Amino acid sequence: MLAQPPIWIIIVGFVCMLAPVVFFHELGHYLVGRVFGVGAETFSIGFGHEIVGWTDKQGTRWKIGWLPLGGYVRFVGDMNAASAPGDAEELPPELREHSFPVKPVWQRFLIVLAGPAANFLLAIIIFAGLFSLVAAPDTNKIGRIEPKSAAAVAGIQRGDRILAVSGHKTPTLDEVRSVIEPRPNQFVRIELERGGAVRQVQVKVGILEGKDETGKKVAIGILGVSGAPVSIFKAIPLATEQTALITASGVEGVARLIIGQGSRQDVGGPIKIAQVAGEAASLGALPFIQLVALLSINLGFINLLPVPLMDGGHLFFYGMEAIRRRPLSARAFEWAFRGGLAIILALMAFTTINDLSSIGLWDRLGRLIG
């Protein structure tokens, strides 16, 4: 477990992590809307009172709100920031043709889908950049060796490929770590390839001190190597695969919660995100950037859930409209959005209580009362 970072790092980390993810999400909606000729009244990062803003030549008000918990694009014809459909007939004729509600259902579907899609695209861009500039995940080729590490002492060199550790085949450095971490301060035999020749070296595994989930000190084995980057042409497919795997893991997690096999401790809200963002920021740029990619995937996935007020709810309604060949009634929309709001408020309450529990607030209150 990491030491709790200062509150200012948590706040700055949270804002710097959430803002680009939300911006990219809303930019997806905005750009595809512009492609289809839909006018945008407001592009907002954050909610509440405007801190700073400007109006562009197309009449869109770009602004930053004081509450950095999301954002929205309000298109011409939207009833509110949640994109509840308004009555296009009430608009002036010059605005009606550029309003969101009058566009064909397939265009509205793509405009809404573009937000989550932009989040997945952002994650792919981040991972591709990391894999092509820092290290790829599926390689056993060494790109960097930490000075005075176990690998450096044993004479392992940059460009070597670690083929096996203590008889365990290691096609990736993740496999290397899985063998090394349980063996702190032990000698292991490493089979590596250098210049086309295979050789073996004896290595005394280093020790990294850490803490487990209970706060107990543990020793972790460490070799002191990181992977080599790959070309951008290899990085993009790898980044796409990584994004798909993380998304699939999210789907599995939600399914486990629904059937009662998951733990409620795995569900976090803004407080938990802020805490993790602060911890990542205190560790450096690389962990922070990786967490931005993870948050972007989670935001894209959550927005695809078929809950009214969220993108997935809109997509569900447009799918129903395409099947029925007519939109749902205004009353049906009203009740659906009320239900969606109730679900979101209940989820926010649940995650907030869960977050406060995870930081030990209820335990401290109990000790004070007791």
* Phi, psi angle pair for 66, to nearest 5°: -75, -20
Check: CB of residue 88 under 8 Å from CB of residue 96.
Answer: yes
Residue among 252, 241, 22 nearest 118 (CA): 22
Packing angle, helices 7-35 and 285-303, rounded to 10 = 50
Q: Which two tokens stand for residue 8?
A: 């200012």
CB of 40 within 8 A of CB of 18?
Answer: no
In angstroms, rounded to a whole number, what is the distance separating the alpha carbons of residues 55 and 129?
33
DSSP, collapsed to helix, strand or coil, labels residue 332 as helix
- The helix, strand and coil proportions of the chain, stated in percent and rounded to the nearest 5, come to 50, 20, 30
Is 279 annotated as catalytic? no
Q: Are 160 and 193 in contact (CB under 8 A)?
A: yes
Identified catalytic residue from 26, 41, 90, 209: 26
Is 317 within 8 Å of 325 (Cβ atoms)?
no
Which residues are CB-neighbours of 197 under 8 A, at least 6 positions away? none
> Is the CB of residue 190 less than 8 Å from the CB of residue 162?
yes
Q: Which of 297, 273, 293 minimizes the C-alpha distance to 131?
A: 293
Question: How many other C-beta atoms are found inside a 10 Å radius of the C-beta of residue 28?
Answer: 25
Burial profile 259-291: b = 16 or more Cβ within 10 angstroms, e = fewer:
eeeeeeeebbbbbbbbbbbbbbbbeeeeebbbb
- Number of helices (H), then strands (E), belonging to the chain: the values are 11, 10
Task: Quote the CA–CA distance of 40 and 59 in Å, as a whole number.
Answer: 8
**Is-contact 292 21, C-beta < 8 A?**
yes
Active site residues: 26
